[in-house]
Amino acid sequence: MTGKVLVTGADGFIGSHLTEALVRRGYDVRAFVMYNSFDSWGWLDESPSEIRDNLDVVAGDIRDPFAVREAMRGCDSALHLAALIAIPFSYRAPQAYIETNISGTLNVLQAARDLGLTKVVHTSTSEVYGTARFVPITEEHPLQGQSPYSASKIGADQLALSFHASFELPVGVIRPFNTYGPRQSARAVIPTIITQIANGSRHIKLGAVTPTRDFNYVADTAAGFIAVLESTASIGQVINIGSDYEISIGDTAHAIAEAMGTTIEIETEEARLRPAGSEVERLWADNTKAKTLLAWQPDYGGLDGFRKGLKQTVTWFENPDNLRRYRVGRYVL
């Protein structure tokens, strides 16, 4: 790919890592961040100066079609990550998820079509599969909207694919499984565990511990985005990005404790439990398609890779300057 690339949601967890990776690879990047009165660029504020000095940052709102169009003007490709992603908050504010995840995606697609972009990468999520009916989960697995969040992402995914089918817009859909790593919000389970332990607690409050997840280290996820961007074979395709390894939440907690040199006891907190029909019990990615089409494969795959990723994540969170950003002990939606 050549020319300027737009990254929506560049201020977030995955978006900031991806933006940094693109700059380091020599891309000309425009970062679309959520407008706020503090003039904050989110996690990009913490990027090294050599990254920030080579960014074209535009603040706006993905729900505003005019802001999206102006941000995209002059770009050749777009990586669309801007979204509301917290599952528990989607129970409280489902309309916000429709407006952000579906209408926001429509804004990106329509602008890309009108402006003639050469590639759009749309971000999906493994949550669209719901509880696995078979494992490992291929891209042909049925879609199940078990939360307002997952339903909104199914809608956004189908909208993106429809623009390829209807208008030949060069869209590729990346479907990351559970990404983790430095900078992740404490609404996610791995930072929740790490921050509680780092603050001295040995009685760790969690929701359900039996569900399994396929955790994907953020560097692997970012590499997957770039592989989809750079591959013409990804156009019109949905591609899983996962480690091809599953582990339960309970075992994850104990693996983190081991990495932090301690032992823990897990306590179930009612507020952290999803409604019974909404809990996704099992996620395990089949990443064959990514390996075949993109020549992508995880550097942090399997148990050894997971342990390596956890070690790097723990090191980041244990830094007092990073840990102080988190309200430990408070359940984050």
Tell me the CATH number at 32. 3.40.50.720
Beta bridge partners of 7: 31, 79
Can you tell me the distance from the alpha carbon of 156 to that of 269, in angstroms, rounded to the nearest whole number?
A: 32
Q: Are residues 82 and 133 in the same domain?
A: yes
CA atoms of 175 and 57, how far apart (whole Å): 26
Is 296 part of a structural domain of the chain? Answer: no
Q: What pLDDT score does 1 carry?
A: 55
Q: Do 203 and 226 fall within a single domain?
A: no
Contact 174, 123 (CB under 8 A): yes
- Shared domain for 128 and 94, answered yes or no, is yes
Q: Give the distance between the most distant pair of CA atoms in the chain.
A: 56
Instruction: Let me know if 86 is exposed, middle or buried by CB neighbors in 10 A (0-12, 13-18, 19+).
Output: middle
Q: Which residue has the tokens 């390996």?
A: 291
**Does residue 153 contact residue 125 with C-beta atoms inside 8 Å?**
yes
**CATH number, domain at 255?**
3.90.25.10
DSSP secondary structure code for residue 162 in this structure: H
Residue 321 one-letter amino acid: D
In a domain, residue 161? The reply is yes
Q: Going along the chain, which residue ranges are E strands? A: 4-8, 28-34, 55-60, 77-80, 119-123, 171-176, 178-180, 203-206, 212-213, 215-217, 238-241, 247-248, 265-268
Q: CA–CA separation, 167 vs 86, rounded Å?
A: 31
Query: Which string of b and e fits 128-151 if b means at least 16 CB within 10 Å?
Result: bbbebeeebbebebeebbbbbbbb
Question: Distance of CA 253 to CAs 62, 249, 331, Å?
Answer: 35, 6, 16
pTM: 0.98
Domain annotation covers residue 131:
yes
- Beta strands at 171-176 and 238-241: parallel, antiparallel or unpaired: parallel
Q: Examine residue 295 and state whether it is found in any structural domain, yes or no.
A: no
3-state secondary structure of 241: strand
Residue 57 shares a structural domain with residue 133: yes
Type of residue numbered 202: R
Domain co-membership, 206 together with 112: no
Name every residue whose Cβ is closer than 8 Å to that of residue 6 and which is 6 or more positions away in sequence: 29, 30, 32, 71, 72, 75, 77, 78, 79
Q: Residue 262 domain-assigned?
A: yes
Residue 148 shares a structural domain with residue 274: no
Answer for the pair 58, 36: CB distance below 8 angstroms, yes or no. Answer: no
Q: Considering the domain boundaries, does residue 289 fall inside one?
A: no
Q: What residue numbers bound the domain in which 315 lies?
A: 182-213+245-282+302-323
Nearest in space to 103 (alpha carbons), one of 132, 68, 53: 68
**Pair 137, 276 in one domain:** no
Query: 101 and 194, same structural domain?
Result: no
Amino acid at 313: T
Question: Per the structure block, which two tokens stand in for 194?
Answer: 């790490």
In a domain, 11, yes or no: yes
Asked if residue 267 and residue 163 are part of one domain, the reply reads: no
Same domain for 48 and 17: yes
In a shared domain, residues 46 and 110: yes
Crossing angle of helices 302-318 and 189-198, rounded to 10°: 50
Strands (E), 178-251: 178-180, 203-206, 212-213, 215-217, 238-241, 247-248
Distance CA 296, CA 278 (A): 31
Q: Is residue 287 part of a domain?
A: no
Quote helix, strand, coil % in the chain, to nearest 5.
Answer: 45, 15, 35
Number of domains present in the structure of the chain = 2
111, 127: one domain: yes
Per-residue confidence of the chain (333 residues) as pLDDT tens digits?
Answer: 569 999 999 999 999 999 999 999 999 999 999 999 999 999 999 999 999 999 999 999 999 999 999 999 999 999 999 999 999 999 999 999 999 999 999 999 999 999 999 999 999 999 999 999 999 999 999 999 999 999 999 999 999 999 999 999 999 999 999 999 999 999 999 999 999 999 999 999 999 999 999 999 999 999 999 999 999 999 999 999 999 999 999 999 999 999 999 999 999 999 999 999 999 999 999 999 999 999 999 999 999 999 999 999 999 999 999 999 999 878 888
